[in-house]
Amino acid sequence: MATNDNQIAGYYQKLLKRNAGEPEFHQAVAEVLDSLQIVLQKDPHYNDYGLIERLCEPERQIIFRVPWVADNGDVRVNRGFRVQFNSALGPYKGGLRFHPSVNLGIIKFLGFEQIFKNSLTGLPIGGGKGGSDFDPKGKSDAEIMRFCQSFMTELHRHIGEYRDVPAGDIGVGGREIGYLFGQYRRLTNEHESGVLTGKGLTWGGSLVRTEATGYGCVYITNKMMVANGDSLEGAKVIVSGSGNVAIYAIEKAQELGATVVGFSDSSGWVETPNGVDVELLKEIKEVRRGRVNEYVEEATGAIFHEDGSIWDLKADVALPCATQNEIDGEHAQKLVENGVKYVAEGANMPSTAEAIEVYRKNHIHFLPGKAANAGGVATSALEMQQNASRDSWSFEYTDDRLKRIMENIFRHTSATAAEYDHEGDYVIGANIAGFKKVADAMLAQGVI
Ligand code: NDP
């Protein structure tokens, strides 16, 4: 035990030095390494052949210039990233994020998480992530198109159906995937559907992909609640964010009988004691690309807040679906005081390490993002299957596959936690279950 603890601490110190100034990456690695100490006690062979060090080092990191011309003729320069983290289980797979906060450390944290998440889906996909510090907010359609074309002009040489298959994330939805795919097709002179997921339905996209992350998060939340003697029926739920993941989490939670009591964006949050009018929210966010305060002007009984925090609301369930580190220790304490018993992460790493500690101490049932939001990438892998077989499946069939995948993730996570004597600790369960499959593949494939 002591040897493993020391070795893991040694790896981590080295990682901090070699990856200075990347706090989000450190945070994601620390959480996983913490769980791996338990595995190494029981299965010390996972420490052989430099496995842990190799796992924490991306196979490839690509950084590139993205120049584009604004509508007023100004030349703008952004930075593009693709981190191809681990391809032991399949082609690199993970989204592209366009947001001004994007830097290498953020893409590495997301790529690292993606390895274990993709492994948990049970599908043959490796882990990667990419993006740019480009801010789509306030840009015209033509500017978005020129940016996407410039981004893909470099990215196209690094991706492919069997190599690396990007998708959307914050700031990258159907519109951006369309422009990216168009430029890929033009540059390669091939209609290679399998190179990107989240495509439009008439040119290789899959039904349910748009809904998948939010729906999947709700399916697995309900499964966790049922396993602990509750259900979403009649529950009060807070959903942060109002983007792709949040909207479809709200829709499915309400379909299952819950009342969603609040949602947000970066301008503030909206209290909705009587539930959310999902069609109105879609119209504001997906069609008009507006802000959440527009919702209260058109819906009855909703209140917009610029100050305070959405985590001050009373509820049974919290689904953070916006961005990393949006729940800190104090917010988590508020959740406890306000009666929240379940937290499931629609976003990637929305809870800080301190918040997770508060959940543990207060016996909040907590599903980390790599399990709770895996429905998006799982359905992307189903899109790849449909592309490979030149087929397209019905909504019902695809949704049923998604549901079964999420239920399997819960069963596997829960059983692994119990196997390692941490019953009910879904962080440990998800980390270990995700790790073992990748680790076995890496050991089988030799030191590469
Ligand atoms: P969207 O861009 O569609 O929506 C993001 C939402 O979060 C918006 O409401 C946005 O508000 C809010 N938000 C983003 N950054 C911040 C911030 N710094 N502070 C406050 N609010 C913020 O993205 P998605 O819904 O696709 O992604 C949300 C989360 O889910 C991310 O963590 C992503 O990595 C994760 N995820 C997404 C998947 C997918 O399939 N899309 C799959 C798995 C995980 P505003 O518009 O004001 O910026």
Contact yes or no for 66/151 (Cβ under 8 A): yes
107 is a domain residue: yes
Q: Which residues of 369-405 are buried (b: 16+ CB within 10 A; e: fewer)?
A: bbbbbbbbbbbbbbbbbbbeeeeebeeeebbebbbeb
Give residue 340's identity as a one-letter amino acid code. Answer: V
Low-confidence stretches of the chain (pLDDT < 70) are 1-4
- Looking at the fold, whether 177 and 281 belong to one and the same domain comes out as no
The answer to whether position 125 is within a domain reads yes
Cα(383)–Cα(376) distance, integer angstroms: 10
Give the residue from 140, 158, 192 where a domain finishes. Answer: 192
Q: Do 123 and 43 fall within a single domain? A: no
- Pairwise CA distance, residues 265 & 282, whole Å: 13
Domain carrying residue 21: 5-55
Q: How confident is the model at residue 2, as a pLDDT?
A: 46
Q: Kindly state whether residue 176 falls inside one of the protein's structural domains.
A: yes
Number of domains in the chain: 3
* Distance of CA 423 from the midpoint of ligand 1 (Å): 31
Write the CB contacts of 359 (distance below 8 Å, at least 6 apart in sequence): 332, 343, 351, 366
228 lies in some domain? yes
Best probe residue, ligand 1, of 117, 244, 281, 293 (max atoms within 8 Å of C-beta): 244
Domain annotation covers residue 283: yes
Residue 40 lies in a domain: yes
Phi and psi at 66, nearest 5°, equal -125, 90
What local confidence, expressed as pLDDT, does residue 1 receive? 40
- Nearest residue (by CA) to ligand 1, atom 43, is 373
110-163 tens-digit pLDDT? 999 999 999 999 999 999 999 999 999 999 999 999 999 999 999 999 999 999
- Residues written for the chain: 448
Alpha carbons within 13 angstroms on the beta-carbon side of residue 103 total: 9
Amino acid 3: pLDDT: 53
Which residue positions form the known binding site for NAD(+)? Answer: 213, 244
| 256 and 230 within one domain | yes
Residue after which a domain boundary falls, among 363, 382, 402: 363
The position carrying tokens 């503030």 is 268
Q: Which pTM was predicted? A: 0.97
DSSP string, 273-323: TT---HHHHHIIIIIS---THHHHHHSTT-EEESSS-GGGS--SEEEE-S-
CATH of the domain at 49: 1.10.285.10
Q: Is residue 39 part of a domain?
A: yes
CA angle 338, 341, 343 (to 5 degrees): 105
Q: Do 39 and 113 belong together in one domain?
A: no
Looking at residue 7, its pLDDT comes to 85
- Residues serving a catalytic function are 129
Q: Do 231 and 249 lie in a common domain?
A: yes
Q: What is the pLDDT of residues 345-398, one digit of tens each?
A: 999 999 999 999 999 999 999 999 999 999 999 999 999 999 999 999 999 999
The verdict on 249 and 267 lying in the same domain is: yes
Ligand 1 cavity residues, CB under 6 Å: 168-171, 213, 241-246, 265-267, 321-323, 346-348, 373, 376
With beta carbons less than 8 A apart as the criterion, state whether 175 and 144 touch. yes
Contacts of 190 (CB under 8 A, 6+ apart): none
Side by side, the strands of the sheet bearing 92-98 are 60-69, 75-86, 126-132, 92-98, 164-167
Which tokens belong to 300? 């009855």
SS3 339: coil
Token pair 């499931």 is found at 344
Distance 17 CA to ligand 1 centre (A): 30
Q: Could you tell me the distance, in angstroms and rounded to a whole number, from the CA of residue 241 to the centre of ligand 1?
A: 6
Can you give the CATH number for the domain in which 69 is found? Answer: 3.40.50.10860
State which of 27, 134, 170, 373 you would mutate to test the pocket of ligand 1, scoring each by most atoms of that ligand within 8 A of its C-beta: 170
d(CA 17, CA 293): 44
Say whether both 164 and 227 belong to one domain.
Answer: no
